[in-house]
Amino acid sequence: MTEVTFHLAALLLTGAVLAVQRTGRGASAGDKAFRPLSLRGVALTLVLLPIAYGILALVLCQLSSWRLFGAVKLMSWGLFLHLPLLLVLLGRGAWRAGARRVAALELAGALALVAVAVDAFWIEPHWLEITHHELRSSEVDTPVRIVLIADLQTDAVGEYEERALRAAMEAEPDLLLFAGDYIHLRAGPERVAQIARLRQLMQDLDVGGAVGAVAVAGNCDGLDWTRVFEGTRVRALARRGQVTLGQVTVTTLSPDESDHLRELDDVPGFHVVLGHYPDFALGDIDADLLLAGHCHGGQVRLPLFGPPLILSEIPRRWSSGLHEIAPGRFLCVSRGVGLERVDAPPLRFLCRPELVVIDVLPD
């Protein structure tokens, strides 16, 4: 009902803007009665309409049970459906009224918004990037390859998830780490079915076979998340623990610990700390490499600004990539393989999903 109300209100807003553009002169509301916007008016429309959609979305979410991501979803409907529609109608009227420059600007604006929508909803969410990082450490005698899979976060396991998991195994890791958020569905039969599908896929691909593999929980994972890894060689650890795999010791954190932990002692050898939230990196964590997900890189990154929202206390520049946050201490936050589901719009913009490959070389 909230979504329907938003669409009706947005259509009323579109009608109001079009009504204002009619001069009332002439025998009918034909082309001669249409008063085109000025170039400044077009610019104001492109600024004020998104603000109006945003206010409308927030008000409706306050009046319903929808949360922040629900408001973002409604806002995306405004930006990528209602605003292009309005611009096309304004452009059509301006063209027929002879204001060709204004019409061209309005139609170009509509085309640009549609192009962004095509990229954000249909191209980028499945345009997986394999990102390679390299660091050196005196704690290893031979090279160690770590592959990080964060935020599979799917609501329908299929070809894309298979491609991502297959790519992880084809990278030939010595250590395969999962940073949480596997199935993003509310509790119910469909969630149970998708967990079973992901588990079967893991088994079919022998994920974790012949390598060390460890998984932790994310904030979207219920108590049933370990079922994803049943029958595989992946160690699913629900709380803090330590696993030594060759030259590497991995300390695993629960979601709550990864969000709030502020102190952790070092252990011998190359020390990796794996958690879902990256906020533990703000504490005194004595380790060589900190690995996390959750932020999705912001999922939307604006030119010259970066991600408007990362849902973490870490600096925005840390929300993706490998960063040396203290001498000899590195943090890598993955942009994730999947994206936010349920109430959120399933989009990515200038923020491709990624599979992270880190080569630790002897120093």
Same domain for 266 and 216: yes
Same structural domain, 157 and 301: yes
Report helix, strand or coil for 354: strand
Q: Which residue has the higher pLDDT, 131 or 42?
A: 131
Q: What is the pLDDT of residue 119?
A: 98
Mean pLDDT confidence for 146-175? 97
**Last residue within a domain, chosen from 123, 140, 166:** 123
pLDDT digit string, tens, across residues 161-216:
999 999 999 999 999 999 999 999 999 999 999 999 999 999 999 998 878 899 99
CATH code, domain with 334: 3.60.21.10
pLDDT value at residue 56: 94
Q: From CA 363, how far away is CA 351, in angstroms rounded?
A: 32
Residue 191, helix vs strand vs coil: helix
The verdict on 161 and 273 lying in the same domain is yes
More confident residue, 94 or 160: 160
Q: What is the pTM of this model?
A: 0.90
Sequence-separated contacts (24+) of 6-12 with Cβ below 8 Å: 6/56, 6/57, 6/60, 6/74, 6/77, 6/78, 7/77, 7/82, 9/56, 9/60, 10/53, 10/56, 10/77, 10/78, 10/81, 10/82, 11/82
223 vs 360, residue with greater confidence: 360
Confidence of residue 23 (pLDDT cuts 50, 70, 90): low
User: Are residues 154 and 277 part of one domain?
Assistant: yes
Distance spanning both ends of the chain, measured CA to CA: 60
Residue 7, phi then psi, degrees to nearest 5: -60, -40
pLDDT, position 306? 93
What are φ and ψ of residue 191, in 5° steps?
-65, -45
Model confidence at 39: pLDDT above 90: no
Q: How far is CA 41 from CA 86, 90, 152, 237, in A?
A: 13, 11, 43, 57
Same domain, 192 and 85: no
Give residue 297's region: left, alpha or beta (phi > 0; psi -120 to 50). left
Determine the structural domain holding residue 47 and report its residue range: 2-123
Instruction: Say whether both 265 and 233 belong to one domain.
Output: yes
Which residue has tokens 């899979």? 149
Q: Say yes or no: 93 and 160 in one domain.
A: no
334 and 269 co-located in one domain: yes
The pLDDT > 70 percentage for the chain reads: 97
